[in-house]
Amino acid sequence: MTEVLLKSENLARAFGGVQAVAGVSLSLPAGQVTALVGPNGAGKTTTFNLITGNLRADSGTAHIRGKPIMGLKPWQVARLGVARSFQDLRLFTHMTVRENVLAATETSAWFWQPGGARARAARAERAAAALDATGLSDLADARAVDLAYAERKFLSMARILAAEADIWLLDEPASGLDLSSRLRFGALLRAATARGVAICLIEHNLDVVAELSDRIAFLDQGRVLAEGDPQSILRDPALAAIYFGDRPQEAA
Ligand SMILES: Nc1ncnc2c1ncn2[C@@H]1O[C@H](COP(=O)(O)OP(=O)(O)OP(=O)(O)O)[C@@H](O)[C@H]1O
């Protein structure tokens, strides 16, 4: 049976009167891409924030390989093997591409790790491998701010790769990519899942979801309404109506 690397149960979080996440139970199996799909405001990004410790949950639990993670700080969750990307990428825009990736290798370094030449060389090697895998080696000395849009998205992915995490939470990593970039991006995901990485990605474009995901968790109003293989979820007319803002109860 496939090992579940990350599991949340009944995660909930309100902002004032808005119940952004209302009991999300989610499992991320090793070696699979799970797409988190749902209309605007469904609670997708908030779910990521609750898992990574960027936001505190009002209730609920989450475990990484059985270890409870609620209440941990983001850096502690990162140390347990979670790498996360943001919609706005959060690159160090005035640093070089290489420096951006090197900075990501620090999340998995321990404070007590000797910072000697050997450790530095190992980090440089990891960064170089991540740049190579994302096709950015030739741009290593360019500043992030000078990259084209798609290359910035790949730099964000290079940072994920360099962190050597086995759980990836990606917030709209493929948005705005053209077909050839999407194929490049899909190959990166496939190489990672072949190594057993559990990937969860938020994506609005349902064609991209169909292309990239092994399973879908469909979120609406802070709840997982359905979870399953992409074809059955994408063909469900009730979910399509919710996704495209045409709820049966609202139409009545
Ligand atoms: N920091 C916050 N303060 C107040 N309300 C928030 C905050 N973060 C999210 N919300 C609200 O919580 C709900 C869920 O937001 P969230 O960003 O998680 O949805 P989403 O599914 O990621 O949406 P989108 O697809 O538009 O990115 C929305 O109603 C949003 O306005």
Q: Is-contact 9 25, C-beta < 8 A?
A: yes
Here the ipTM equals: 0.96
Count CA within 13 A, CB hemisphere, residue 94.
Answer: 0
Rounded CA separation 192/172 (Å): 17
CA distances from 120 to 96, 99, 123 (A): 17, 13, 5
- Which H helix or E strand runs over 104? helix 97-105
Could you tell me if the CB of 14 is within 6 A of ligand 1?
A: no
Could you tell me if the CB of 217 is within 6 A of ligand 1?
A: no
Could you tell me if the CB of 13 is within 6 A of ligand 1?
A: no
Tell me which residue has its CA closest to atom 31 in ligand 1: 41
Q: Please report the beta strands in 30-136, taking only residues with DSSP state E, as ranges in sequence order.
A: 33-37, 59-64, 67-68, 82-85
pTM: 0.93
Could you tell me if the CB of 49 is within 6 A of ligand 1?
A: no
DSSP 96: B
3-class secondary-structure state, position 167: strand
pLDDT of residue 251: 44
Tell me which residue has its CA closest to atom 6 in ligand 1: 15
Tell me which residue has its CA closest to atom 10 in ligand 1: 20
Rounded CA separation 187/133 (Å): 10
Q: Is-contact 83 165, C-beta < 8 A?
A: yes
Tell me which residue has its CA closest to atom 30 in ligand 1: 41
Q: How far is the CA of 52 from the centre of ligand 1 (A)?
A: 16
Tell me which residue has its CA closest to atom 26 in ligand 1: 40
H runs (alpha helix) in the chain: 44-52, 74-79, 97-105, 117-133, 149-162, 179-194, 206-212, 230-234, 237-243, 248-251
| Residue 75 burial (CB count, 10 A) | 11
DSSP 92: -
Rounded CA separation 48/164 (Å): 19
From first to last of the 252 residues of the chain, give the pLDDT tens digit. 789 999 999 999 999 999 999 999 999 999 999 999 999 999 999 999 999 999 999 999 999 999 999 999 999 999 999 999 998 898 998 999 999 999 988 755 554 555 677 888 888 999 999 999 999 999 999 999 999 999 999 999 999 999 999 999 999 999 999 999 999 999 999 999 999 999 999 999 999 999 999 999 999 999 999 999 999 999 999 999 999 887 655 543
Site of tokens 């998205």: 153
Q: Is-contact 16 214, C-beta < 8 A?
A: no
| Residue 2 burial (CB count, 10 A) | 11
What one-character-per-residue DSSP string does 121-145 give? Answer: HHHHHHHHHHHHHTT-GGGTTSBGG
Could you tell me if the CB of 46 is within 6 A of ligand 1?
A: yes
